[in-house]
Amino acid sequence: MAKELGLTKLAIPTNGNAGAALAAYSSRAGLQSYAFCPEDTPEVNVREIAMQGAATFRVNGLINDCGKIVREGQPHMDWFDISTLKEPYRIEGKKTMGLELCEQYQWQLPDVILYPTGGGTGLIGMWKAFAELEAIGWIGSKRPRMIAVQAEGCAPIVKAFDAGDRHAALWQNASTRAAGIRVPVAIGDFLILDAVRQSQGFACSVSDEDIELAQGELASREGLLLCPEGAATVAALIQEINTGRIGKDESVLLFNCATGLKYEMPESQSHLDITHPIDYTSLAHE
């Protein structure tokens, strides 16, 4: 759409995945792209963005600081700001999650959806898709309870939800290893909160320790290498089943938004010395 509408330069603040997508599609379409990443963005994300052709810059700040650079650079660089909710098409694309979900559930919906929430476009897009599908008669009025999951170190939506506020204030000193949901202030905060409240859902936060534990457990038990953001929804599910806010008999869908390969993993320290006899019994593990 950017090319069709005559744009030639695109710029984005990113913690990784959105920047990589912009770089790839821009290169394919012959457009210039610029990506601004918080300086502690996972290294593989930064390299992926740069390798796919974007002019890539680390910024000594958070995602909102990167967004400020994009916004203030527009009159100087004549680029188009592709930040979350600054253009209409990302929400339309995010609706795909809701459309495919309905199709795969045989045009029914789960009782609960847990979504890792930073800028919240996925949650907003799904909520829009459900409304449009009902309007054309493909699904009924039943909606899942939408649960916005954040990290304890950056939980502006949770704070606003608990306070009954329509907007979420800037979260100071945001910190979490789940970089994709480390968004101190979301431009679509009111849309996220509207969807959560209209669905009778809630917002919750989980610790980085619980995220790491959930990520490791799912990898070793199920063979699923989730990103920390996706693992946050697993941690939240366990937490909220224990609190009783999610019932054990409810159908629940969790969203994972990337691969764990993009993040640092625990080192493997086991080593064998082929110059000595191997004690195979010592290799056994439970």
Domains, the chain: 9-81 (3.40.50.1100), 91-262 (3.40.50.1100)
Give the bridge partners for 81, in sequence order.
11
Per-residue pLDDT tens listing for the chain (286 residues):
889 999 999 999 998 889 999 999 999 999 999 999 999 888 899 999 999 999 999 999 999 999 999 999 999 999 999 998 888 788 899 999 999 999 999 999 999 999 999 999 999 999 999 999 999 999 999 999 999 999 999 999 999 999 999 999 999 999 999 988 999 999 899 999 999 999 999 999 999 999 999 999 999 999 999 999 999 999 999 999 999 999 999 999 999 988 888 888 888 888 888 999 998 888 887 5
From the list 105, 86, 75, 111, the residue with the least C-alpha distance to 18 is: 86
- The per-residue DSSP string of 22-84 comes to HHHHHHHHT-EEEEEEETTS-HHHHHHHHHTT-EEEEESS-HHHHHHHHHHHHHHH--EE--T
Whether 40 contacts 174, CB under 8 Å: no
CA distance linking residue 48 with residue 263, whole number of Å: 13
Whether 70 contacts 63, CB under 8 Å: no
pLDDT digits (tens, 9 = 90+) for 265-285: 888 888 888 999 998 888 887
CA 70-74-78 angle, 5° bins: 130
Q: How far separated are the first and last CA of the chain, in Å rounded?
A: 53
Hey, what are 192's tokens? 């996220």
The distance of Cα 248 from the centroid of its chain, to the nearest Å, equals: 25
Q: Is 276 helix (H, G, I), strand (E, B) or coil?
A: coil
CA distance linking residue 250 with residue 236, whole number of Å: 15
Q: What is the pTM of this model?
A: 0.88
